Every structure is written in C-alpha cells, then in structure tokens.
C-alpha cells in the first residue's frame, strides 16, 4: 500500500487550499463561531455559492447528473481541507441523500432535486428519529397517506438538526401500516416552508440547536416520493452508511491539535511551557499518532468507495475511532490547559479562541450522531464477523457479508 498522495492528488489538495485561503474570511469565521449550528447567515451562503459555482458539491457525482465525475478520494480530501480551515464541507444532502436519488430516484426526482443540491441551493435536514423511535428506527409512527395527487403527512421528528435553516426535509415516513415495520416505509422530500410544519428548538449543552418538528396535515406532491413507495428502508440504510462515511474526516482534529501543540510550545502556564512536562509530551505524541491513524482510515474508506463498495464495517469502525478520538483530544486539551481550557470562546483569555472548551462540549454528540457507538459496535460484529443479533433492535438491519456494493 502506498500511503503517499499522487502528484494529481497533491495538486488537488493545493487547489483546495488556495481556494480556502482566498475565500475563508474573518467575517465568515466570526459568523460560524457566533451562530454555531444556526449558521446559515449571509457569509456562509456566499461561501456556499462560490463552492457551488466551481461544481465542487457535485465533485464525486457522475457527469450525467451534472457532476464532475471525480472520485471519492478527491471528495474526502475536499471535506478534510474544509474542516481544517474551519468551514463546513459538503453536507449530508450532497454526500448521502443525492447518491440515493441518483441510484433509486425517479427521473422527476433527479431533475427536481439534483441541480439545486449541486449548486448548494437545496439543503435538507434528516427526518428519521422520533420520540419513540430512535435506535429502533423502524418503529416510527409518522405517516403519509395518499390523497389524490398529494401525500398528507402527520407526525413528528426529534433531534432534527438544521430543520430551522434547511430548505427541505429528507423525511422517513410510514406509508403502509399493515406491512411489517421495515417494509412499509418510504422517503419523501418535503419543502420546509410547507404549511403545517412547526419547527421547535431544542438546544444541547454545546449550544447546538437540534429540533423537534411537527407535521400536521402537511401536503406535498405525489412526485416528491423518492423512488418507489415502501422502499424507504433500503434508501435510508444506504444513506446512513454514506452519512457515517461523510462524518469521518480528521481535518478539524488536525486543526485543533495544531493549535494545541503550538500553544504548548510557545506559551507558558504558571511560568512553564506545557511541553516541558513529560506527561504533556506523552499525551501530545499519542494524539498525533491517533490523528494520523484516523487520516489513513479515512483515505482507506474513500479508496474502497472509489472501487464501488460501501465498506460499512470499515466505516463503522472508523466512526467509533474518530468520534472517541475527538473526545480524547478535548479531554487531553482541557487537562493540559487547566482552568484556561474551560474558558468560553468569548472570553479574551481563552487559549486559541476557546477551541478546547468548544470541542469538549461538541464532542459527545458525535458518539451518538449517525447511530450510537454502542449499536455500531453491534453492526461491526454482525456485518464484519457474522456474529448473531440475539434480537437486539438496530437502526440498521444486519446484512450478510462485511461489505456491500453501492446501491445493493
């Protein structure tokens, strides 16, 4: 295995970095810091427009769908470099939902949604979990009933991140109440401004706004159904695998680590530079090694995706490793910085903009976003090693074999 980037990959990395250096402005970074998960302000909209103009949201899409036909490795590198620069990379609408529309959607689905996604104009919230359907997602109760040429939707979703700022909901609903629970589900693309939708805020301790969203007699065109009726479980399991892969970039960890390392070398706490302590050097070395492992895992997964697989076992293992590494970096960083590491980013004395305090509060959701790490360990056991389920509910049904081909 060759761990070095090719000449073409290095050129692509440099092109991304040049674009980010020119377009990631102090105003954009301030907006992201101030608004957090609600950041859909003018600076970010302008940045997304510039990315869309270059066609980079459709970077890995086939050319017949308006994409650039580049591979998964190039897309992974774009996401990594964006996170390292402190700005959002391609979101789940681009990386998870669009591939399902390409694979399973109707011709009208493709014409109606893909161009807007590629331009960065369509941004969808993920409407899966409900108050009584989280890990056992297939027990959801939100229903859609056909009335002439419209779907009528009633129910609610929770942990509905970005519903307050998205243009659409990628909504998993029950369309056949008599079918087995995994068989009677469908996906409908619902414009968020449709009458009858009520988005109510929920806020985590990381100042991350999630939402509970209610649907009361919400009517959308029949054509907004993605693909075929009652096939939603297949689309969602594929999208979840791709979602976990999209979450897995070490770019933000590399940035936070570089800031921490620089601080430990150049500044003093209680009259001593932190790197003069052996335990600090040991922690920093362990983090550096693990971040490099995370980078290589990400490239390995991207390589498998480029070969036409959804390497679910590898992606699942990487998701656990990276999200727990993110928590470990936050733990070590706040330990090294002591009380200074607990200062909020708005405090002028917070080291490097309060990054460690922010990371400490932000890290926990990563361990349950896209599926809890505990359940994902079960998925690895079942898919990767053929171990029995013993009837435990899972957000993703086990499949035979460790990996699957894209679209299977």
Q: Which residues are catalytic?
A: 243
Length of the chain: 408
User: Which DSSP helix (H) or strand (E) runs through 143?
Assistant: strand 143-147
Q: What is the CA radius of gyration of the chain?
A: 22
Tokens linked to 41:
């302000």
Closest CA to 199 of 153, 163, 162, 159: 163
H or E element, residue 239: helix 232-247
Nearest Cα to 93, choosing from 132, 61, 135, 71? 61
State the pairing for strand pair 143-147/150-157. antiparallel
Q: What are phi and psi of 14, to 5 degrees?
A: -65, -35
CB atoms within 10 A of CB 337: 23
**What residues pair up with 214 in beta bridges, in sequence order?**
156, 198
Q: In the numeric block, which tokens belong to residue 31?
A: 């907006």
From residue 160, alpha-carbon distances to 77, 214, 269, 325 in Å are 28, 10, 41, 25
* CA 272 from centre of chain: 39
Whole-angstrom distance, CA of residue 274 vs CA of residue 337: 8
CB of 387 closer than 8 Å to CB of 400 = no
Cα–Cα distance, 112 to 224 (Å, whole number): 9
**Inter-residue contact 161 to 126 (CB < 8 Å):** yes
Cα–Cα distance between 230 and 176 in angstroms, integer?
7
Least Cα distance to 319 among 259, 287, 355, 365 occurs for 365
Per DSSP, the residues of 166-232 read -SEEEEEEES-TTS-TTTSEEEEEEETTSTTEEEEEEE-TTS-EEEEEEEEEEEEEGGGB-SSTT-H
CB-neighbour burial class of residue 13 (10 A; exposed 0-12, middle 13-18, buried 19+) = middle
d(CA 187, CA 238): 12
């Amino acid at each position: 295995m060759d761990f070095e980037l090719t000449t073409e990959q290095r050129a692509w990395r440099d092109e991304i970095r040049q674009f980010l250096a020119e377009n990631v402005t102090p105003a954009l970074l301030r907006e992201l810091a101030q608004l957090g998960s609600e950041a859909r302000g003018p600076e970010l909209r302008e940045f997304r427009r510039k990315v869309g103009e270059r066609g980079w949201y459709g970077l890995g899409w086939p050319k017949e769908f308006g994409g650039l036909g580049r591979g998964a490795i190039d897309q992974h590198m774009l996401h990594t470099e964006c996170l390292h620069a402190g700005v959002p990379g391609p979101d789940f609408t681009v990386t998870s939902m669009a591939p399902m529309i390409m694979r399973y959607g109707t011709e009208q689905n493709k014409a109606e949604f893909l161009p807007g996604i590629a331009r960065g104009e369509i941004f969808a919230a993920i409407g899966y979990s409900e108050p009584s359907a989280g890990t056992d997602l297939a027990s959801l109760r939100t229903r859609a009933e056909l009335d002439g040429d419209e779907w009528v939707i009633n129910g609610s979703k929770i942990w509905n991140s970005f519903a307050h700022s998205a243009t659409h909901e990628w909504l998993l609903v029950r369309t056949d109440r008599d079918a087995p629970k995994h068989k009677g589900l469908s996906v409908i693309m619902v414009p968020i401004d449709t009458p009858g939708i009520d988005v109510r805020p929920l806020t985590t301790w990381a100042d991350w706004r999630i939402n509970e969203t209610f649907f009361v007699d919400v009517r959308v065109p029949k054509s907004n159904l993605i693909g075929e009726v009652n096939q939603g479980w297949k689309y969602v399991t594929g999208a979840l695998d791709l979602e976990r892969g999209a979450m897995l970039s070490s770019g933000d960890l590399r940035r936070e680590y570089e800031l921490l390392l620089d601080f430990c070398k150049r500044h003093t706490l209680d009259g001593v530079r932190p790197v003069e302590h052996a335990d600090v050097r040991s922690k920093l070395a362990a983090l550096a090694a693990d971040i490099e492992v995370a980078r290589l895992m990400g490239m390995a997964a991207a390589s498998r995706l480029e070969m036409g697989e959804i390497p679910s076992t590898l992606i699942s293992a990487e998701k656990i490793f990276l999200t727990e590494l993110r928590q470990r970096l936050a733990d070590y960083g706040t330990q090294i910085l002591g009380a200074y590491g607990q200062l909020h980013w708005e405090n002028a004395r917070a080291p490097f903009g309060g990054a460690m305090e922010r990371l400490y509060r932000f890290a926990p959701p990563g361990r349950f976003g896209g599926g809890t790490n505990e359940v994902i360990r079960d998925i690895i056991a079942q898919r990767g090693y053929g171990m029995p389920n013993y009837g435990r509910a899972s957000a993703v049904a086990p499949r035979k074999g460790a990996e699957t081909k894209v679209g299977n």
